[in-house]
Structure 1
Amino acid sequence: MRHYRHDHPERGTLRLVIDTDELVRRNAGFAASGAQVGLPLLSTGNLRLIGCVDPRVDPSHVLGLAAGDAVVMRNVGGRVTPAALRSWAMLAKVVEARSHGRPPPGGQMVVLHHTDCGITDLAPYPDLLAEFFEIPAASLEQKAVLDPYASVAIDVELMRRAMPPAVRVSGLVYDVDTGLVQVVVP
């Protein structure tokens, strides 16, 4: 049963309320399905993906991925930041440990940006964005915050420099209006 709350009773606006009790109820259904049984810590494929935290753009959902298909990281804008690169480096060490020092060869890294991203609303806050990207505010133009097609190309290049040569890196932009992805960087 879905629970709704009136945010603006005078306008009749309802908002879905998902509280802890609702999460526990949903989790019971998930656990009963057995979908999680036997999943290894390492993904079953070679796919790694970085995408945005926007609830409209859950990478697993919009790309048809099942649990265990990929390692998915999400942050504001799906951006490749120094913090994201540090996290990927840590994950590589986890893979190395679980693979007894023999990480699987190759792989695919996908950078997924999207249209109508909330990161564009942060443009009036250059100090906040500069801190996020760990760059001087004067260098923010290089990040193409207002253009997902340009920003995904920038981030693919950063990721290509950070990943081992055997890892292929590509960039997609998801259109929130059509539900389709476009390959921007093959």
Structure 2
Amino acid sequence: MTSAFDDLLAANRTYAEHHALKGFDGIAHAGVAMVTCMDSRIDPLRMIGLEPGDAKILRNPGGRVTDQVLVAVVLGVTLLKVQRVMIVEHTRCAMAGSTEDELHERIAERTGTDATWMSLGAINDQERTIREDVHRVRSHPLVPADINVGGFVYDVDTGLLSPVAEA
């Protein structure tokens, strides 16, 4: 019986033949956590010169600091040796290029189902959102004062990060 995942499972078997992270301890060896968008144009580790095992990567639509992301950040900074938290949004992001209503309309057109009950997290002002998310991490009572938090915009066309906020 064939599966829609056969090609991916075959690729995984090839990957596993040379898997280099056996016995890895799971900490962030470079002391970095990155919150970024799920956009496939973003290669979080390589864009900052890191390798697997160096950082904790937290991805969601728009790269927002949600309640669940905050849980992961707290765990990272208290248990997994994270010392720097990067919040990285990006250019030409669907979440920043559409309103909440537009996103709901597109989902309804595609699925035939009203999705207005779901908060999607559209971003109206990217730099303001980044500053707010940096503040949200920095002001969390379980994030120690010695943790560095920065917010950036990643340009998907040039590959460059631009600083927006640091706390």
Following superposition, the deviation at residue 130 of structure 1 comes to 7.8
Alignment of 1:126-145 (within 5 A): 131-132=119-120, 145=123
Specify which of 130, 134, 139 is matched with residue 156 of structure 1: 134
Structure 1 residues not aligned, in runs of 5+:
1-18, 96-102, 134-143
Judge conservation of contact 1:54–1:118 (CA < 8 Å) in 2. no
Could you give the per-residue CA deviations for residues 101-140 of structure 1, whole angstroms, max 9, x where no partner exists? xx74x7101100101111132432589598356xxxxxxx
The one-letter code sitting in structure 1 at the alignment partner of 2:6 is D
Following superposition, the deviation at residue 91 of structure 1 comes to 4.9
Specify which of 63, 66, 73 is matched with residue 78 of structure 1: 63
* Paired position in structure 1 for 2:95: 119
TM-score normalized by the length of structure 2: 0.75
Following superposition, the deviation at residue 32 of structure 1 comes to 1.6
Specify which of 149, 153, 161 is matched with residue 181 of structure 1: 161
CA distance in 1, matches of 2:35, 2:116: 21
Is 1:29 the counterpart of 2:31? The answer is: no
Specify which of 91, 110, 132 is matched with residue 86 of structure 2: 110
Aligned residue pairs, count: 149
CA distance in 1, matches of 2:138, 2:70: 11
Higher relative contact order (CA 8 A, sep 6+): 2
CA-based RMSD = 2.7
CA distance in 1, matches of 2:83, 2:117: 30
Higher-helix-fraction structure = 1
The percent identity for this pair of structures is: 30
Following superposition, the deviation at residue 72 of structure 1 comes to 0.8
The one-letter code sitting in structure 1 at the alignment partner of 2:149 is V
TM-score normalized by the length of structure 1: 0.68
